[in-house]
Amino acid sequence: LRSQGTHASAVTVPSADTETLAGIDWDNFGFSIHPTDYMYIMKCERGQWQQGELKPYGNLELSPSAGVLNYGQGLFEGLKAYRTFDGRIFLFRPKENAVRMLEGAARMSMDAPSEEMFLSAVRKTVLANQRWIPPSGKGSLYVRPLLIGSGAVLGLAPAPEYSFVVYVSPVGNYFKGGLAPIDLKVETHHHRAAPGGTGGVKTIGNYASVLKAQLEAKSKGYSDVIYLDAVNNHYVEEVSSCNIFIVKDGEISTPELGSILPGVTRKSILELARDQGYKVKERPVSADELMDADEVFCTGTAVVVNPVGSITYKERRTRYNNGGLGKVTKELYKALTEIQMGLSTDKFGWIEEL
Active site residues: 202
- For ligand COI, the nearest residue by Cβ is 78
Q: Are 268 and 327 contacting, i.e. CB atoms less than 8 angstroms apart?
A: no
Q: Rule CB under 6 A: which of 165-224 touch ligand COI?
A: 207
Q: Are 145 and 165 contacting, i.e. CB atoms less than 8 angstroms apart?
A: yes
Contact between 241 and ligand COI per CB under 6 A: yes
Which one, 57 or 207, has the nearer CB to ligand COI? 207
Find the length of the chain: 354
Please tell me the count of residues contacting ligand COI according to CB under 6 A.
6
CB of residue 338 to ligand COI, shortest distance in Å: 20
Among 52, 67, 74, 78, binds ligand COI (CB under 6 A): 78
Strand 161-171 with 140-149, pairing: antiparallel
Q: Rule CB under 6 A: which of 93-122 touch ligand COI?
A: none
Q: Rule CB under 6 A: which of 277-336 touch ligand COI?
A: 300-302
CB of residue 241 to ligand COI, shortest distance in Å: 4
Which one, 207 or 278, has the nearer CB to ligand COI? 207
Q: Where in 89-181 does DSSP place strands (E)?
A: 89-92, 140-149, 161-171
CB of residue 3 to ligand COI, shortest distance in Å: 30
Strand 351-353 with 89-92, pairing: antiparallel
CB of residue 202 to ligand COI, shortest distance in Å: 7
Closest CA to 296 of 325, 271, 267: 325
What's the rounded Cα separation, in Å, for the pair 182 and 172?
Answer: 16
Query: Residue 144 contacts by C-beta under 8 Å, 6 or more apart in sequence?
Result: 76, 77, 78, 166, 167, 168, 169
Closest CA to 209 of 222, 183, 227, 186: 227
Which one, 52 or 145, has the nearer CB to ligand COI? 145
CB of residue 143 to ligand COI, shortest distance in Å: 9
Which one, 125 or 301, has the nearer CB to ligand COI? 301
Query: Residue 238 contacts by C-beta under 8 Å, 6 or more apart in sequence?
Result: 192, 226, 227, 244, 255, 260, 261
Which residues here bind ligand COI, judged by CB under 6 A? 78, 207, 241, 300-302
